[in-house]
Amino acid sequence: MIEFNGVSKYYDGVAAVSDLNLRCPEGAFTVLLGSSGSGKSTTLKMINRLEPHDSGTLLFGGQDVRSIEVKSLRRRIGYAIQSVGLFPHWTVARNIATVPALLGWDRARIEARIDELLALLGLEDGRFRNSYPHQLSGGQQQRVGVARALAADPEVLLMDEPFGALDPVTRSALQQEVRRIHQLQGRTFVLVTHDVDEALLLADRLVVMDQGKVIQQGTPAELLSHPATPFVRDFFGGSELGVRLLARRTVAQWLRPGEWLEEMEPVDEQMTLREALSRFIELGCQRLPVQSADGERLGVLHFCDLAAQEPTL
Amino acid sequence: MRWLREPIFWLLLLSGVLLYGLPYSEPLFRWLFPDLANPLWRQQSFASLALAHLTLVAVSELVAVAVGLGLGLAVSRPGGQEFRPVVETIAAVGQTFPPVAVLAVAVPVMGFGALPALIALALYGLLPVLQGTLAGLAVVPTEVKQVASGVGMGPWRRLWQVELPLAAPVILAGVRTSTVINIGTAALASTVGVNSLGTPVIIGLSAFNTAYVLQGALLVALMAIVIDRAFGLCLRRLSRHAE
């Protein structure tokens, strides 16, 4: 969907990003991960031409972004940033309707779309519709921000540290929400963050950046199990890398089917191996029975299998 | 009955009472100023003077707002930023010239009448409007502007739908200051032969008739308070979204 080929961007002769080659495949959730100053935000803004690139080619849906008229390009791309980006003088409903109104949708269609999005983001309570942004909590504002970005059903959704200003509980709820919406709609999402756990939770495809360069890109599992450089290894927290790898895996794929343990409380198949590890230590045991959400006996998870590189199934 | 608690209602009522009631107050002023032969202004009606005064203020203020807002917008766009210091300096100089001096210079060139008065008033009212415009546009958060562009608004639409509404309260505060000052300054127009509420004041000063001065000054002050209050109401409506 989006392809950077040798893209560079300079500020006063200094490269903010240089010779960038990366791909955001259609329908995938791509996360650009890096510390501040790594050029990840600049990279994101080059996609909707808020920051024009200086050299190389940047393709959007197979077309050079420079050949697409800038307003129509931006209306095809949803854009969400930290909550301050809501228009403070407009109600929630009008904020969400921003892009549909620019595209000239008729009133009934816009109203229906607002209702749909408020429901999708868990804001269906009637009082939100006509509230102003400052009357909402940070988490609610961010939900409105995401709703606005999704409003015109864009081909691509760009998010720049959208959860940065939120408390951990709200952040985690919204991350789950965005993940769910992505799976539901199958759109191309690109998110920028410096939070490793957030990146691992959301990404189908992970791009680690440093000093304006791509250090490594691939699936989260590839990056965790084969970090290309010491920098990537450090970024994933060095000693915690293994635990983060476990957090990406679920119990369902690592259990031994056909076995069962009567005397113990079974765990859910959706549990991550990280949580299972914690359970093993907490209970001081070697084996855990696993059941599905509707109570079907699936098998037993063995402590020694946690260290295996490949699933047992 | 909420309007009963609104001060502007009572202020307007008081203005009406004074404009039409002062001609009947001769006994009061005769008692206050027993030495004066004519203690009550009778040359023109106070209502006609007030109307002339308001017209003078409205016309010159419209010019000041049009020019101040236009210049403020122009120098805050990417193309005009280089001119910002120059424009700010010129407006500040306009403010430092006393209006009386502008009148003194303008009259020999343009003769007596409304035009030199209007020019002096508009020049004097320019700076607060310009400053309000610049300050107002500066308070619009960068992120909001970037998102506006990011969702595909063109520069004009962004200005009209996002920047101006958010800057409006500060811009209006500038217009408010400018107008209230203008109401006081417009009284000076009477020195170049234009009718205003300053006429009784100027004539009273030259004829040592304190009663005239008092009557004119009272009405000018009241007008300033009423207009200031009206701006306050508008301002409250404009910033409703922040309440």
Residue listed under structure tokens 């198949």: A269
- What count of residues does chain B have? 243
> What is the residue-wise DSSP string for B110-173?
H-SSHHHHHHHHHHHHHHHHHHHHHHHHHTS-HHHHHHHHHTT--HHHHIIIIIHHHHHHHHHH
Tell me the sheet residues that pair with A22: A4
pLDDT score of B119 more than 80: yes
User: Average pLDDT in the A216-238 region?
Assistant: 86
Q: Mutate which of A73, A84, A89, A102 to test chain B, going by most B C-beta atoms within 10 A?
A: A89
Which of A167-171, A250-254, B15-19 has the highest average model confidence (pLDDT)?
Answer: B15-19
Pairing of strands A29-33, A188-193: parallel
Whole-number pLDDT of residue B114: 85
pLDDT score of B223 more than 90: yes
- Say yes or no for a CB contact (<8 Å) between A99 and B151: yes
Point out the residue among A84, A98, A134 whose CB comes nearest to the CB of B151. A98
Whole-number pLDDT of residue A313: 62
ipTM: 0.77
Which of A243-257, B48-62, B79-93, B98-112 has the highest average model confidence (pLDDT)?
Answer: B48-62
Pairing of strands A14-24, A77-80: unpaired
User: Average pLDDT in the B98-120 region?
Assistant: 82
Pairing of strands A14-24, A188-193: unpaired
Residue A99, chain B, CB below 8 Å: the answer is yes
A44/A108 Cα distance (integer angstroms): 33
Is the CB of residue A257 less than 8 Å from the CB of residue A291?
A: no
Question: What are the chain A neighbours of B153 within 8 Å (beta carbons)?
Answer: 71, 102
Helix (H, G, I), strand (E, B) or coil at B98: coil
User: Average pLDDT in the A121-144 region?
Assistant: 87
Shortest alpha-carbon distance between residue B165 and chain A (Å) = 7
A297/B3 Cα distance (integer angstroms): 73
A84/A165 Cα distance (integer angstroms): 10
Point out the residue among A81, A98, A102 whose CB comes nearest to the CB of B143. A81
Nearest residue of chain A to residue B164 (CA atoms): A89
Mean per-residue pLDDT over chain A, rounded? 88
Is the CB of residue A77 less than 8 Å from the CB of residue A154?
A: yes
Whole-number pLDDT of residue A177: 86
A74/B150 Cα distance (integer angstroms): 6
Mean per-residue pLDDT over chain B, rounded? 89
Question: In three state form, how does the secondary structure of chain A look?
Answer: CEEEEEEEEEECCEEEEEEEEEEECCCCEEEEECCCCCCHHHHHHHHCCCCCCCEEEEEECCEEHHHCCHHHHHHCEEEECCHHHCCCCCCHHHHHCHHHHHCCCCHHHHHHHHHHHHHHCCCCCCCCCCCCHHHCCHHHHHHHHHHHHHCCCCCEEEEECCCCCCCHHHHHHHHHHHHHHHHHHCCEEEEEECCHHHHHHHCCEEEEEECCEEEEEECHHHHHHCCCCHHHHHHCCHHHHHHHHHHCCEHHHCCEECCCCCCCCCEECCCEHHHHHHHHHHHCCCEEEEECCCCCEEEEEEHHHHHCCCCCC
Question: What are the chain B neighbours of A132 within 8 Å (beta carbons)?
Answer: 241-242
Question: What are the chain A neighbours of B144 within 8 Å (beta carbons)?
Answer: 84-88
pTM, rounded to two decimals: 0.79
User: Average pLDDT in the A195-219 region?
Assistant: 90
CB burial readout B199-226, b (16+ within 10 A) else e: bbbbbbeeeebbbbbbbbbbbbebbbbb
Question: What are the chain B neighbours of A161 within 8 Å (beta carbons)?
Answer: none
Whole-number pLDDT of residue A60: 93
A40: tokens are: 């990840």
- Say yes or no for a CB contact (<8 Å) between B241 and A132: yes
Taking the mean position of all CA atoms in its chain, how far away is CA A32? 9
Point out the residue among B143, B149, B150 whose CB comes nearest to the CB of A84. B143
Whole-number pLDDT of residue A312: 67
Specify the amino acid at residue B179. T
- Say yes or no for a CB contact (<8 Å) between A82 and B143: yes
Residue listed under structure tokens 């300050």: B135
Point out the residue among A90, A102, A134 whose CB comes nearest to the CB of B153. A102
Whole-number pLDDT of residue A207: 94
Sheet strands side by side (includes A55-60): A14-24, A2-11, A55-60, A63-64
Residue listed under structure tokens 């106070």: B46
What letter would DSSP give residue B195? Answer: -
Question: What are the chain A neighbours of B166 within 8 Å (beta carbons)?
Answer: 88-89
